[in-house]
């Protein structure tokens, strides 16, 4: 090769290199990936934990759907450990990921990783949990998290008979003793869930129909670090000891997540409640939930837990894949909410999915008929 040709070749390589780096910034579309074949592109998927089956389903659904579209996928779980998740994301970036999908453990802990992603023009999609305090997050896919909280508050009121199933005023006037649980304070969703639930419950607390006997109505008092079942069980045990040792009974518990609900139910059963909501003389309180985890769906079918809020993770995965594909093809994904999710630095354009409350009566139509769980899995309380 003549030196002139070599120079030209070098110039071309440099130009390609520049085009390769000059995607226009994360969020402006992966124009550097638009001409690439899907099989040459890798998507890093960072999930929080495998201790909850919803996140396993999320990971599998996202991976399968991305692979179905031809992309390479690097799926990692972080055992709910923040340094592990940071390290996994660092590694995805170093290994040349073209896009990241992240369900954060601590929504505020990823700023330096996401700066590195932005520097490398890697679009970042925040999955279900909003990543906070950084401008380097491009899109958010989730459910309507405030409405999840409203659904939980409404389910508690319905279970107690304060509301009828159609939402109209019920005949029960209480007073009912309720206790309140919230999720992990480092998860942005926990605040939306609690706010939605409290906006729904507060008028009934003010009117005296509901009584929070422990007095613990602040999210800081109700919170459960890392959404741990054992932590919720321990707090429920402590509440029973501190506030119900005078013979009074708990009638309802606001729980924002099925894992916590199972801990709460265990504490109540160990203290002689139940085992079911119909049991006498000491019925299981009305306990809410979220995620339609299979163990909890069985508890609902068995009349132990009253309700859960179902979030179809298959649809969430689909939205994440739609958004990812848009970026990788050089386009902007379509948002249906551009106001709600301020992450402290900017409002992140979001695609929010609807949710559905599941009671024993609609397990079949909401979960079995839709193929989310089989009747056999519900009966066993275990996924196949
Ligand atoms: C939240 C999520 C809930 C539940 C919880 C515990 O971020 O929105 O659906 O899964 O984490 O894992």
CA 257 to ligand 1 center in whole angstroms: 7
Beta bridge partners of 42: 72
Structure tokens at 128: 């279900």
27 has pLDDT over 70: no
Structure tokens at 204: 């009934």
Mean pLDDT across the chain? 92
For the CA atoms of 287, 292, 295, 300, the dihedral, rounded to the nearest 10 degrees, stands at 50
The answer to whether the CB of 343 falls within 8 A of the CB of 353 is no
pLDDT in tens, 311-321: 999 999 999 99
> Residue 10 burial (CB < 10 Å; 0-12/13-18/19+)?
exposed
210 has pLDDT over 60: yes
Q: 290: Cβ below 6 Å to ligand 1?
A: yes
CA 105 to ligand 1 center in whole angstroms: 10
Tell the residue number behind the tokens 């450990």, with chain if given. Answer: 81
Residue located nearest, by CA, to atom 5 of ligand 1: 257
Residue located nearest, by CA, to atom 9 of ligand 1: 291
Q: Pick from 324, 326, 328, 308: which is nearest to 316 by CA?
A: 324
How far apart are the C-alpha atoms of 348 and 360, rounded to whole Å?
36
Question: Within 10 A of 85 (CB to CB), how many other CB atoms are there?
Answer: 26
Confidence of residue 30 (pLDDT cuts 50, 70, 90): very low
How far apart are the C-alpha atoms of 222 and 357, rounded to whole Å?
22
- Mean pLDDT (whole number) for 206-233: 98
Q: How far is CA 375 from CA 57, 141, 309, 370, in A?
A: 18, 29, 18, 11
* 3-state per-residue secondary structure call for 121-143: CCCEEEECCCCCCCCCCCEEEEE
18 has pLDDT over 90: no
Q: Pick from 234, 301, 317: which is nearest to 67 by CA?
A: 317
Q: 52: Cβ below 6 Å to ligand 1?
A: yes
Residue located nearest, by CA, to atom 4 of ligand 1: 257
Q: What is the DSSP letter of 39?
A: G
Confidence of residue 23 (pLDDT cuts 50, 70, 90): very low
Q: Pick from 56, 106, 15, 70: which is nearest to 325 by CA?
A: 70
CA 229 to ligand 1 center in whole angstroms: 13
Q: 373: Cβ below 6 Å to ligand 1?
A: no
Q: What is the pLDDT of residue 275?
A: 97
Cβ-proximal residues to 291 (8 Å cutoff; 6+ apart), any chain: 52, 54, 257, 258, 259, 308, 309, 310, 311
CA 15 to ligand 1 center in whole angstroms: 45
CA atoms within 13 A on the CB side of 165: 8
CA 359 to ligand 1 center in whole angstroms: 19
pLDDT in tens, 50-68: 998 899 999 999 999 999 9
- Mean pLDDT (whole number) for 194-198: 98
DSSP E strand boundaries for 151-204: 176-180
pLDDT in tens, 131-169: 999 999 999 999 999 999 999 999 999 999 999 988 899
Q: What is the pLDDT of residue 22?
A: 33
Q: What is the pLDDT of residue 2?
A: 38
């Amino acid at each position: 090769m003549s030196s002139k040709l070599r120079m030209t070749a070098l110039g071309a390589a440099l130009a390609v290199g520049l085009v390769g780096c000059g995607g226009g910034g994360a969020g402006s579309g992966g124009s550097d990936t638009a001409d690439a074949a899907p099989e040459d592109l890798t998507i890093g998927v960072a999930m929080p934990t495998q201790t909850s089956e919803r996140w396993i389903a999320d990971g599998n659904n996202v991976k399968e759907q991305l692979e179905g579209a031809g992309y390479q996928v690097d799926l990692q779980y972080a055992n709910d450990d923040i340094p592990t998740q940071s390290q996994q994301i660092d590694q995805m970036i170093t290994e040349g990921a073209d896009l990241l999908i992240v369900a954060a453990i601590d929504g505020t802990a990823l700023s330096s990783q996401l700066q590195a992603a932005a520097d490398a023009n890697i679009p970042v999609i925040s999955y279900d949990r909003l990543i906070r305090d950084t401008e380097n997050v491009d899109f958010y896919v989730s459910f309507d998290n405030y409405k999840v909280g409203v659904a939980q508050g409404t389910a508690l009121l319905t279970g107690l008979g304060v509301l009828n199933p159609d939402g109209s005023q019920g005949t029960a006037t209480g007073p009912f003793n309720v206790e309140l649980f919230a999720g992990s304070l480092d998860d942005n969703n926990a605040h939306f869930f609690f706010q939605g639930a409290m906006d729904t419950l507060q008028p009934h607390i003010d009117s005296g129909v509901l009584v929070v006997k422990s007095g613990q109505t602040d999210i800081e008092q109700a919170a459960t670090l890392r959404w741990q079942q054992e932590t919720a069980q321990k707090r429920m045990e402590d509440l029973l000891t501190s506030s119900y040792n005078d013979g009074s009974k708990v009638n309802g518990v606001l729980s924002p997540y099925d894992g916590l609900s199972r801990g709460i139910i265990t504490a109540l059963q160990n203290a002689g409640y139940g085992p079911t909501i119909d049991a006498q003389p000491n019925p299981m309180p009305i306990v809410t939930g979220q995620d339609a985890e299979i163990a909890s769906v069985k508890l609902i079918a068995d009349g132990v837990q009253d309700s859960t809020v179902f979030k179809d993770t298959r649809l969430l995965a689909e939205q994440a894949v739609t958004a990812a594909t848009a970026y990788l093809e050089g386009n902007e994904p379509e948002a249906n909410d551009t106001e709600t999710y301020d992450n402290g630095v900017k409002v992140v354009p979001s695609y929010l999915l609807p949710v559905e409350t599941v009671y024993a009566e609609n397990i079949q139509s909401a979960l079995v008929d839709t193929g989310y769980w089989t009747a056999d899995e519900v009966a066993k309380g275990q996924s196949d």
